[in-house]
Homo-oligomer: A and B are copies of this chain.
Amino acid sequence: MNRLYHYPLSPFCRKVRLSLAEKKIEVELVEERYWEKDPDFLRRNPAGKVPVLKMGNRTMADSTAICEYLEDAHPTPALLPATPEGRYEMRRLVAWFDDKFNAEVTTKLMGERVFRKVMGTGYPDSTNVKAGAKAIKYHIDYMTWLLDQRRWLAGDQMSLADFAAAAHLSCLDYISDVDWNRSEVVKDWYAKIKSRPAFRSILADQVPGFPQPAHYADLDF
């Protein structure tokens, strides 16, 4: 059986979960408290990060390397655009969310509000929380600008860029940090992704100490 070592509120893990589910590759989800640095876990991934995917006798780390591998080895349905230019734009946007959005928003909001409590590293730093709450507005406006020109974030087809973005936003939505009223096109886009069967497992996530808000799993949010 394939196994994904993950943490429910990790956007990098969610991106991989969405790819696997779209490709109908079944995996057993194993929750990994990666900050506890279990030696077995470090043997699986010396980088000490989730996600880690065990498929057959291969163990793979890094969400982008894993998603590209899944495209290479299990190309249907395709989550990469068909042209080099389309693939470029998709990869740029995956990096936008996993690098810039993550640093400016996810680590500032989730990192402070959830991970400090879960890992026991003190109280949220309100300067960070404020900076994250401010930055997410700019990012939603940037998504609005993209989605005013395109059906999906990287073009006219759904791609890994949409999964990267939805992975971050769904984590933040779990702690009610996304203002869906800010942009109708972003809300419509999220509603389309959220209603995909591949999203079901993400909507079922539960984190002890952080009860799921009612709108989180509601398709009509």
Interface residues of A (CB under 8 A from B): 46-47, 49, 58, 60-62, 64-66, 68-69, 72-73, 84-85, 87-88, 91-92, 94-96, 99-100, 142
Contacts and interface: CB of A to CB of B under 8 A. Distances in A.
B64 A87 contact: no
B46 A64 contact: no
B47 A100 contact: yes
Contacts of A66: 88
B84 A69 contact: yes
A65 B88 contact: yes
Which label, helix, strand, loop or mixed, suits the secondary structure of the A interface? Answer: helix
A62 B66 CA distance: 19
A137 to B, nearest CB: 15
Contacts of A95: 62, 64-65
Nearest to A61: B92
Contacts of A72: 84, 87-88
A73 B68 contact: no
Contact of A73 (B62, B69, B84, B96): B84
Given A96-B47, A142-B46, A91 B73 contact: no
Which 7 residue pairs are nearest across A and B when measured between Cβ atoms?
A: A65-B91, A72-B84, A69-B88, A65-B92, A62-B95, A73-B84, A62-B92
